Structure 1
Amino acid sequence: MSKSENVDNFHTNWSKTVEGTLVMVACTGEYTGNASRYCRSDGKWEVPNYSKCISNSIEQIKEQTAKFLSGASDYDNVTIILNNLENITRDNNKLRSGDLNASSDILNEIAKYITNHTEELSVDQLEIFGSLCDNLLHERNHQSWGELNNEGSAGVTSLVSAVTEYNDAFDEVIDGEFSFVVAKENVVMEVGKTSSDEITVPNRLTPSDSWISDSATEIKLKKNICSGLTGYSSTFYRNISHLFPEYLLQNGDIRPFNGSYGVNSIIAEFTVHGTTCSDYTLIIKFDHLLENYSKPLCGHWDFSAP
């Protein structure tokens, strides 16, 4: 086995070992935990597993988050935690799959906290939250997200679930007509309330040079008989289609893709809140990313799926 095969992208040196062996080594650099790698029976290494490697800085934020949620922290709001994590993950080429897992866990904990403490929400905080998610979803981290997928982890699903729960909390604090958009390189988030008979996301009435402006994907709610304000939240993800767990849930059965299926659009999420409608129409339109697909079907991403 050549030397180049023994040193991976994170400069971990995997020494020669017996075939059919799972090797564990301490995480290199400023990291806690252990990395593992399996040497197959043919003498070839599989992809390293860094899901248990967490940088010291993110581990510290994880501990700070736990203290804050227990009331034992000096921090007086979650914005400080979000801002610190955003700073660490911005332009960071060294994030490992364990960092992505830990960051997703932090965001899920914060989203749950915010749901019960909506007084701490602000548009500035939403901007930071969006920037943080954008950092984590950057293409430089796709290999690590893929590793989590291969390990059977919830992977990027955990992050998307946190985004949805966090955005939904804004419905409790918006009192009147309002719309706010966070447009980033990899994600576009919008929260708002309106009395209009029609809601269309993304909002194409607002001039934008965002990538979402070039996509025909949109979700439109037409209200025929409704009363009061309608709250809504939406998120569009530019480049995570290939990070899906590659199986379908059909009639309660799990069916692997086996090369027969693929996700051929950007990912869109839309939630409606707090309105009384006896008659409405929801129109969802997806713009295909590639042309060489046949027999298209629409799928629903179930966050609670195994």
Structure 2
Amino acid sequence: LGELPEAAADPDEQAEQLPGLVDALAAVTCARPVDDVVRTVDAHTELTVPVAMTRRQAGAYQGVLARHYEVLADARHARHGAARAAQLKSICAELRKVCSHPYLLPDLEPDVPPPAAAAAAHGGGSAQGADAFRALGSTDECVSSSGKLALLARLLRVLRRQDRRALLLSHTPKMLDMIEGCAQSVLGSSAVERVDALMASSARHAAVSAFKSDSCPVSLFLMTPSACGLGTDLPRVDVVLLFDSDWHPLLDLQALRRACCIGRPGALHVVRLVAAHSVEERA
């Protein structure tokens, strides 16, 4: 690059130095202007689906609000803002768990036998995830306890009839256990693959590489957004299901772009599930 001038303190002088810096970097960088990319990329279409909570979910949701009523109704002075913000974040985290499944709350999780409890606690990986799902009770009861999970089971049947390949993103490994068990009961164990942050990088790479093969029987790929590293590109996916959303929308978008690389052929359909009349609608 040669010798670059020191940054000026004055904003006007900085503006004068900018063109020279751009010219110096042009020789050693590969620029990809947005105008050149957008013309060749099909924009993804996103559909937000409000899902009604089940009675069990609604009861658990109301229970969380009632349990923390004193905090929610507290009108202390602004000097207590930091402590109050931490309490509210904790409450919101509980409410978001209920929006996905009431079993995510420790006091609502069914009693499981000791051997199965270990699988439910650790999760991660297809075998352990399915075992954890079965440990939580009957398949029908687990699915019917969550509006999102019940709708997902119906969506998977539709996608199977249409011969679609889907990617599902969920932030909670324990929720991914239940989703994996539900998906295997609908599609079969050979049609579901899971990758999460607990897996070794070599195993994740092998699963992604296998999914790209035309002969791969997997039609549903389960991931946590944190496992969507650079180079995760899944070109066979034409539908993305966002089971739950991050508070920061750009984090979900970043995971989506990493999993479904910019410039892939065809339009990408994104379905975001949101619990109706809940804290998720404020996310």
What is the TM-score when the length of structure 2 is the normalising length? 0.30
Structure with more strand by fraction: 1
Higher relative contact order (CA 8 A, sep 6+): 2
Q: Larger radius of gyration, structure 1 or 2?
A: 2
